[in-house]
Amino acid sequence: MRAKPFKLQLPEKLWWDHNAWYRRWLLRQLPSRAQSALDVGCGHGVLARSIPADEVTAIDASARMIELASATSSRVRWIHGDVLTHDLGQYDVVTAEASLHHLPLREGLTRLAELTRPGGTLIVVGLYLTATPADWAVEMVTLPANAIVGVAKAVNGTAGKPHDVDMPVVMTAPTLNEIRTAAREILPGARVRRHLFWRYSMVWHAPEVH
C-alpha cells in the first residue's frame, strides 16, 4: 500500500461524511433477516447499531472508539481487539465500512471471508488510491460533486468535520486494480464497483456447503 497523494481540500465548514453517504446503500445490501452480524472497524458504532440482525457484534482496534460506541447501545456486543487475531467465530453478515484499508489487503480479505458463514454475505465499502487514467477521469467528476454536496450540507446545517478527533486515520489505500485482483483470487464471484467520493463497494456471497 502507498500513501495517498495530496487532494484538494474543501474548507472545514464544507467537510461532510462520505461514509454516511453510502451507509444507506450498504444497509440495502443486507439480507432481510440475519441471525448474526459482525461489523469490522466499527468506529462510533453508527453502522453496527443500524444492522437488522438478532445478534450484532462490533469490533475495533481503537479502545477509544469502543468506549464511545459502547456508551450508545447495549444491544450490540462491542469488542476492543484486532480482527485478524481475535477469536470471533462466523456470522451471517459481515460488514466493513472504511476499515479494510487499515489492514493488509489480502490478509484482511482472507480474514473477512473466514468470518463469513457459508451462505452468508460480506459487504465492504472502502477507499481506493487514485492511480489510473480511469481513476483520474472519475476524480474530475468527484471533486466538483464533493464541493456541491458540501455547500448543500452547509446550507442545511449538516456539514462540518465528520469524525471525532480520536478517530484513527490511515492515509494509505490499495488501488482499485489491486482490490479487484485480490477479490478475484480470495473471494470468487465478489462484485466490486467503483463509486464517487473515493469509494468502492464489494459484495460477496459465501458459497453454501453441501
pTM of the model: 0.86
CA dist., res. 96 & res. 53, Å (int): 16
Starting at the earlier edge strand, list the strands of the sheet with 199-205.
76-80, 53-60, 34-40, 91-97, 116-127, 199-205, 191-195
- Written as tens digits, the pLDDT of the chain (210 aa) is 444 444 556 666 656 477 888 899 999 999 888 999 999 999 999 999 999 999 999 999 999 999 999 999 999 999 999 999 999 999 999 999 999 999 999 999 999 999 999 999 999 999 999 889 998 888 888 787 767 766 776 777 665 666 555 666 665 789 999 999 999 999 999 999 999 888 999 999 999 976
DSSP lists the bridge partners of residue 79 as: 59
Confirm if 92 and 121 have CB atoms less than 8 A apart.
yes
